[in-house]
Structure 1
Amino acid sequence: MASAEAIAELSKEVLSASLEGTLAEHSTQGSHGVNYHHPYTGNDGYAFYMPTLNLIGVGSINAAGAQIAELGFKKALIVTDKVLVKVGAVEHITKVLDSIHVEYAIYDGTEPNPTDNQVDQGVAMLKEENCDFIISFGGGSPHDCAKAIGVLATNGGKIHDYEGVNKTKTAMLPVVAINTTAGTGAEITRFAIITDTSRHVKMAIIDWKVTPTIAVDDPVLMVGMPKSLTAATGMDALTHAIEAYVSTISNPVTDANALHAMKLIKTYLRDAVHEGTNLKARDMMSYAEFLAGMAFNSASLGYVHAMAHQLGGVYNLPHGVCNAVLLPVVQEYNAKAVPHLFIDIAEAFGHRDIGEDEDLAVKRVLEDIRSLSKDVGIPKNLAELGVKPEDFGLLADNAMKDACGFTNPRAPTRDEVIELFRLAYEQ
């Protein structure tokens, strides 16, 4: 085993190599693996989080039965919503469970922006039905609700006890997350976002023990998504990729995931929105949201999400729409600190004439974000969403406490957050 002195010397060599020689002649992308993207972080390396098993691609729901059977559990609590039950979508998983002789109960009380009360209802049903594992079926809301139910099933207490980073003592009850949207990444992440109904605040539970055991991303399940949901979740995925890329704790793996996710979303989101049965577009968006989830699961996020969470908590607005409206405003603010990173984002968006022109890169990226949002039908600003300027102070106060903001490349003051809300309101 190498001595501490040898390791320290190697670290110095790695840092030196990142700042001089041939790597320095590349764009920032060329040097990420040797800590050129952000300042050297020390001797602790970096972590990368993922579910144990991921089933991906057309028909992957058909492989889920054998994998669930291997877990050896007897009865599932299926966490979903009333719409997915009504349209028969949940039958995709109940038929699988019937085929492997696993019993189930269905909790369909999850709503967009799931609440602490819905989590408590799910826990009560899980105990009443003697379920020994959980299946979430849907988008981010059922996944987050299921994860929160799983936390309380093994850790006890109230979900408020676990707000923040790594607050659980015990791994949550196993969760199989079956995804029906291409956006949130919740089926693979260690994040669960739950609304505190007493404070009207979205709580961020961030904990590697809150990562699903199995994730299933089958684009066939996404073909029926309406345009508005396709657009909102797609822009959510783009926000994940960009925020993870400029995050202060990004790493070589998250960078690669984020950049390719951006490329796919820029290429295929419009087709997925306007040609909902285009299976290639659905497949590529499923792939893109998975990559973006991989990126932010380890690199975390930034002030787009920190601010969007507050809009969801106070106004119960669609999360992806809030992200899309805030994204260009916050990234213009961030670009003042890390303009060089926008060269890579511009290249991922397909621009080949940027060179090392940081100002041009920032300009093109912001134009592309706004153009994509407009083309897929995202509202122009916060005014159109009914947000009230008199709430900006409260929203800013809560955003500054949100754990997602801790890794933003700039640390804004309260007045700056209020100004970001104002800019998003008036743009």
Structure 2
Amino acid sequence: MATFYVPSVNLIGKGVVNEVGPYIKELGYKKALLVTDKFIEGSDILPKVLKPLDAEGIEYVIFSDVEPNPTCKNVTDGLAALKEHGCDFIISLGGGSPQDAASCISIIATNGGKPQDYEGLHKSAKKGLPVVAINTTAGTSAEITINYVITDEERKVKMVMVDKNSLALISVNDPELMLSKPKGLTAATGMDALTHAVEALVTPGAYNVTKKLSIGAIELIKEYLPRAVANGQDIEAREGMVNAIFLGGMSFNNAGLGYVHSMAHQLG
């Protein structure tokens, strides 16, 4: 028997970020805590995301203090902003770090406690606050998974949380949000995606469905990552990588990973 976790709605492809506003309005949410980082706040990505929200009259408060490898302080500060401004849902915008921070904020918003309480497997009792996860890197697949990682700065430990209650309500993978990514970041995140796909293929938890997804992801990465690195404006290559991380994310989200990530967390 296997359980397969994936967000309820997944928007994938060129220009899908423009559909976010209508989806949120239809669901009846009013005010978002938009969780992101300083780089994205100052980039051309943020206006592309705010435009469809403004068009539908959806309010938002921007919380951009997320660090690479988000910390417990990032989470508690974000939670304080959410409560102060009366936000009823979360938008996560960025790569793995904003996505992970938003997941933890979401869980604590409905379950209480502190980040350390949720280290390990399925520690929360209640579904987290709804998250609309807008991805900007073709790498971690954090926008569609039940895994998130928060750094406990006091213990100097990267806490791994696996929690079905943290799964995003809507994921958004729009390659147009990735066109400005530099070569180095495109290559690094692409290799992260390849690592996920290979690990999910060989992990003991893999089964027929996840293996097919892993192989599909590997094939797409082989074809499109070199092109995306060579020419960041190659929208077909960017879209190919978006499809790859969606397949790979679904695979490792349900099959698990392996020793590469075990070692990487300790090094990190």
The two structures share one fold, judged by TM-score above 0.5: yes
Matched, 1:219 2:175: yes
Matched, 1:306 2:262: yes
What's the TM-score once normalised by structure 2's chain length?
0.98
Q: Within 1, Cα distance between the matches of 2:14 and 2:196?
A: 23
TM-align CA RMSD: 0.8
Matched, 1:206 2:171: no
Percent identity over the alignment?
Answer: 54
What's the TM-score once normalised by structure 1's chain length?
0.62
Task: Structure 2: give runs of 5+ residues left out of the alignment.
Answer: none
Write the mapping of 1:45-124 to structure 2, written as runs, cut at 5 A: 45-124=1-80
- The one-letter amino acid of 1:158's match is K
From the two aligned structures, give the one with the greater strand fraction.
2
Equivalent position of 2:103 in the other structure: 147
Q: Within 2, Cα distance between the matches of 1:182 and 1:311?
A: 22
Q: Provide the secondary structure at the position in 1 that maps to 2:185.
A: helix
In the TM superposition, residue 96 of structure 1 has moved relative to its aligned partner by: 1.2
The runs of at least 4 aligned residues of structure 1 exceeding 6 Å deviation read none
- The one-letter amino acid of 2:91's match is I
Q: Within 2, Cα distance between the matches of 1:116 and 1:192?
A: 12
Matched, 1:170 2:126: yes
Q: Within 1, Cα distance between the matches of 2:131 and 2:95?
A: 14
Q: Deviations over 1:237-292 (max 9, x none)?
A: 11111111111111221111100100111121111112111111111011101111
Q: Deviations over 1:207-262 (max 9, x none)?
A: 11110000000001011111121111111111111111111111221111100100
Q: Deviations over 1:18-53 (max 9, x none)?
A: xxxxxxxxxxxxxxxxxxxxxxxxxxx111110010
Out of 121, 134, 141, the position equivalent to 2:90 is: 134
Matched, 1:193 2:172: no
Q: Within 2, Cα distance between the matches of 1:265 and 1:99?
A: 35
Equivalent position of 1:18 in the other structure: none
Matched, 1:160 2:116: yes
Q: Greater Rg, structure 1 or structure 2?
A: 1
Q: Within 2, Cα distance between the matches of 1:251 and 1:49?
A: 14
- The one-letter amino acid of 1:280's match is E
Write the mapping of 1:316-335 to structure 2, written as runs, cut at 5 A: none
Q: Does the 8 Å contact 2:20/2:53 carry over to 1?
A: no
Write the mapping of 1:397-408 to structure 2, written as runs, cut at 5 A: none
In the TM superposition, residue 93 of structure 1 has moved relative to its aligned partner by: 1.7
In the TM superposition, residue 88 of structure 1 has moved relative to its aligned partner by: 3.1
Q: Does the 8 Å contact 2:21/2:58 carry over to 1?
A: no
Count of residues paired in the alignment: 268
Q: Within 1, Cα distance between the matches of 2:184 and 2:68?
A: 14
Matched, 1:229 2:185: yes
Q: Within 2, Cα distance between the matches of 1:120 and 1:229?
A: 28
Equivalent position of 1:269 in the other structure: 225
Equivalent position of 1:290 in the other structure: 246
Q: Within 2, Cα distance between the matches of 1:68 and 1:221?
A: 19
Structure 1 stretch displaced more, 192-201 or 101-110: 192-201
Q: Deviations over 1:141-172 (max 9, x none)?
A: 11110011001100111111001111000011
Task: Structure 1: give runs of 5+ residues left out of the alignment.
Answer: 1-44, 313-427
Structure 1 stretch displaced more, 272-281 or 182-191: 272-281
Q: Within 2, Cα distance between the matches of 1:213 and 1:145?
A: 16
- The one-letter amino acid of 1:195's match is T
Equivalent position of 1:12 in the other structure: none
